[in-house]
Structure 1
Amino acid sequence: MSRRPRVSVVIPTYNKAKTLAECVRAVYRQTHQPAEVIVVDDASTDGSREIAAGLPCRLVCLPVNRGVSAARNAGAAIATGDVLFFVDSDIALATDAIGNALRVLREYPDCGVVQGIYDAEPFVADGPVEVYKTLFEHYWRRRRAGVADATLFALTAIRRPAFDSVGGFDESLRDAEDIEFGTRLPDRYQIRMCADVVGRHDDVDRLRPFLTEHVRRAVSYGGLLAGTLLGPGRRSVHRRTVPVPATADGPTGAQRPTSGIDVGAVAAMLCCVATVTTVPLAAVSWWLLMVPAVPFAAFAGIDSGLFWFVRRRKGSLFMVYFLGMHFLMHTTQLTGMAVGFAAGVWRTARHRSTPATGAAR
């Protein structure tokens, strides 16, 4: 990037009247001003569209709710920038977020995607559930700063050629769409997580929606994982609104290898399952509580760095609450992934057993 790049900011929104205006204002407070700001309203019903209409941005209105993949694709289709910067409408960017993302793209010519992290403090603090999730997301993303193997698009800059090489987001997906996007990104484009690209996030703030969100995403991820691991049975058709240019080695060139498994996360989930399934032993003798205590202690040890981080920021009492929430999150996440993976295996087996249309008789 020898010249000053044109940046198109794309903001998909659905029922985010609470945060949309401040999200857009934060974009216009950037040290590197974008060439254009595009808000794509995905058929909101809470007045978000009217709020966007009163802001200094280009507004695209989808007639029916189609999901974040379609909204992002719609914004990208009309964007004119050399770099697309996607930011969700419940995030307020730090003033140097775009500038820092461009610096990374400039310093690393092979880098095609720069994704940011959440601030440790929420956009709007609405209770302990939100504080838990915000602290966890901040710690998790910051610890993974550097070269990454998966794409996340809550606050992410991507070179236009990299986006076009993939062909946009799969519009049949409403969850895990950003991770799936990365599986089609040619491996000539490096992905980097940058701790200097920061935004304050307004996250889910009640327990039931929090658990529902995690289970839904885990089911989607489990299905995606099953399709990836089973190879020939995986989904091969992606509905796109952005055309995929042909290259010498195929529609998108060499494909990125599948992301590795987070061994620590898997171990933590298994410790949670072991704890839950052995607690009933206490009905035989209270001494047998030592059995579930062992995997629970192992669970706490696996993420000890996270828990000490929380203790330093919020104190010991909140750390105890955080530990309980983290245990609950891992347990529900593993359950959702197992359900999604089983469903993915069943769909793949069914697909393989179905005779091809028009087969010779």
Structure 2
Amino acid sequence: MATPLVSVIVPSYNYASSLAVCLHTVAAQTYPAIEVVVVDDHSTDDSVAVAESLGVPVIALADNGGCGRARNVGVANTTGEILFFVDADVAMAPDAVAEAVAILEAEPQVGAVCGIEDPEPLLHDTLVSRYRGLQYHHWSASGEGNVTFLFPAMCAIRRRVYTEVGPFNPALKQTEEVDYGYRISRRHQLRLTSRVRGRHDHDHQLLPLLRKLFHRARLRIPLYARARRFATGFETASRAWGSLVAAAALPALVLPLSFGAPWSVVPAALFVASIAADRQMYALVYRRRGIGFLPFFVAVHFLVNVTITVGVAAGAAQWLLSRPFRQLYDSTFPVEAAA
């Protein structure tokens, strides 16, 4: 059987600091048949120069349109039988492409394969990036198997499946992967596996991370309202309850202030319940980082839970009040023309 050509597509926006690391790991892949293209989404840093200095073809877009559009452009300008999307802030393990292809070759019912990121951050080793690496790794690894949530940071898709399902929705700049995961999984198996590994340059500042999570939670409401279920493989009912009770702990602080110290048990119980909702994650943090890091992790994840709940509430209100918001996921889009 002939070795299928894999088109490695790297969407990039202002990732000059990590792009060289990413492209070096693409060049170091053990899989023999690879073509690679960087789609620069109108970066304002040196991303284009970094890619060109390594001899990698670059498609420079005239304006910023988001990862979804950049991936579509990459597909339109490559020829591989298998599409492998890798974000510009990800360093793949040397066998990542080979492992993804092996799964697709062995299991024809699998339409796409997504990888799981290591818990350690790639470049920015801050307390926040350590938190995000552990949290994201656990939420992904605990869902290993068939999922409905696309993880596009490392993802291999058969080109015929992409053609059948259609392109990424370029109007969805923060939730295009959730939309695409639902679309694929309605027709094909979508596999999340630790056989495909890499390391991510995670968010290293708290406020940008919270802002991103707020908008992602808000923008998922119209999709979840239509699907009437969470995407499997990342978000679970217990984690949703954990976010809700964490947010409820804040207004519950009024109880001991209004009715006396005995009522302090209510916010304390809610806080403990938010931790119990994802206790295996905290066990992982303890094993990998020790007791000294655990209070910081707990505090940041509490803020993350509250932020997600506020984002969901804002999205629900917007869904009730805005018809265009309710229709956010209704449209289909053609493949972006070649740049």
Instruction: Establish whether TM, by shorter chain, passes 0.5.
Output: yes
Q: Which residue of 2 aligns with 1:244?
A: none
Give how far 1:184 is off.
2.3
Partner amino acid, structure 2, of 1:135: L
Q: Which residue number corresponds to residue 172 of structure 1?
A: 171
Which moves more between the two structures, 155-164 or 215-224?
Answer: 215-224
Cα 1:157–1:263 shift into 2, 3 Å = same
Take 2:3 and 2:163, find their aligned partners in 1: how far apart are those partners? Answer: 21
The match for 2:256 among 279, 282, 289 is 282
Is residue 153–residue 178 contact of structure 1 (8 Å, CA) maintained in 2? yes
Q: Does 1:192 align with 2:191?
A: yes
Q: Could you say what secondary structure the match of 1:185 adopts?
A: helix
Matched position secondary structure for 2:190: strand
Runs of at least 4 residues off by over 3 Å: 226-229, 257-261, 348-352
In the superposition, relative to structure 1, how do residues 258 and 129 fare at CA in structure 2: closer, same or farther (>3 Å)?
A: closer
Q: Determine the structure 2 residue equivalent to 1:291.
A: 266
Distance 2:110 2:326 in 1: 37
Tell me by how many angstroms 1:12 deviates.
0.3
Paired position in structure 2 for 1:344:
319
- Report whether the alignment pairs 1:273 with 2:272: no
SS in 1 for 2:16: coil
Letter in 1 for 2:286: R
Residue in structure 2 matched with residue 238 of structure 1 by the alignment: none
Give 1:270's aligned amino acid.
Answer: L
**Contact 1:274–1:295 (8 Å) recurs in 2:** yes
Alignment match, 2:297:
322
The structural deviation recorded for 1:26 is: 0.5
Matched, 1:64 2:63: yes
* 1:165–1:185 CA contact under 8 A, matched in 2: no
Deviation at 1:48?
Answer: 0.8
Maintained 8 Å contact 1:225/1:341: no
Q: Report the Cα offset of residue 183 of structure 1.
A: 2.5
How big is the shift at 1:350? 9.2
Separation of aligned partners in 2, 1:186 and 1:302: 27
Task: Show the counterpart of 2:217.
Answer: 218
CA deviation vs aligned residue, 1:166-209 (integer Å, no higher than 9, x gap): 21101111011011112222633110001111111001111111
Q: Which structure's relative contact order is higher, taking Cα pairs within 8 Å and 6+ residues apart?
A: 2
Given residue 4 of structure 2, which amino acid in structure 1 is its aligned partner?
P
2:336 is aligned to none
Q: Cα distance, 1:128 vs. partner?
A: 0.5
Supply the AA of the counterpart residue of 2:53: G
Aligned to 2:332: none
Asked if 2 retains the 8 angstrom alpha-carbon contact of 1:41 and 1:60, the reply is yes
1:250-277 Cα offsets, whole Å, 9 max, x none, are xxxxxxx974672111210121122112
What corresponds to 1:311 in structure 2?
A: 286
Q: Matches of 1:314 and 1:173 in 2, distance apart?
A: 36
**What is the CA deviation profile of residues 226-285 of structure 1, one whole-angstrom value per residue up to 9, with x for unaligned ones?**
3545xxxxxxxxxxxxxxxxxxxxxxxxxxx97467211121012112211201222132
Cα distance in structure 1, aligned partners of 2:131 and 2:96: 24
1:16 Cα deviation from its structure 2 partner: 0.5
Compare 35-44 and 181-190 and name the one that shifted more: 181-190
CA distance in 1, matches of 2:269, 2:61: 52
Q: Provide the rounded CA distance (Å) in 2 between the counterparts of 1:183 and 1:162.
A: 13
Q: Secondary structure of 1:46's match?
A: coil
Q: Which residue of 2 aligns with 1:121?
A: 120
SS at match of 1:307: helix
Deviations 1:22-64 (A, max 9, x none): 1011001011134210100011001111111212222101011
Comparing 215-224 with 158-167, greater Cα deviation is found at: 215-224
Q: Determine the C-alpha separation between the residues in 2 that align with 1:350 and 1:192.
A: 30
Query: CA separation in 2, counterparts of 1:351 and 1:148?
Result: 25
The residue type paired with residue 15 of structure 2 is K
Alignment of 1:61-140 (within 5 A): 61-140=60-139
Number of the residue aligned with 1:18? 17
TM-score (norm 1): 0.85
SS in 1 for 2:197: strand
How far has the Cα of 1:6 moved from its partner? 0.7
CA contact (8 A) 2:80 2:159 kept: yes
Q: Give the Cα separation in 2 of the matches to 1:14 and 1:95.
A: 24
* Aligned mates of 1:169, 1:180 — CA distance in 2: 8
The corresponding residue for 2:330 is none
Deviation at 1:225, TM superposition (A): 2.3
Partner of 2:42: 43
Distance in 1 separating the partners of 2:102 and 2:200: 23
Q: What is the alpha-carbon distance in structure 2 between the residues aligned to residue 24 and residue 93 of structure 1?
A: 9
Instruction: Assess, with a 3 A threshold, how the Cα gap between structure 1 residues 135 and 351 changes in structure 2: closer, same or farther.
Output: closer
User: Secondary structure at 1:19's aligned position in 2?
Assistant: helix
**Is the contact made by 1:222 and 1:339 (CA closer than 8 Å) also made in structure 2?**
no
Distance 1:297 1:350, change over 3 A: closer
Partner deviation per Cα, 1:315-341 (whole Å, 9 max, x = no partner): 012112111111110110111122123
Note the residue ranges of structure 1 that are not aligned, 5 or more in a row.
230-256, 353-361
CA contact (8 A) 1:223 1:337 kept: no
* Rg comparison, structure with higher value: 1
Give the whole-Å Cα distance in 1 for the aligned partners of 2:272 and 2:188.
41
In structure 2, runs of 5+ residues without a counterpart are: 328-339
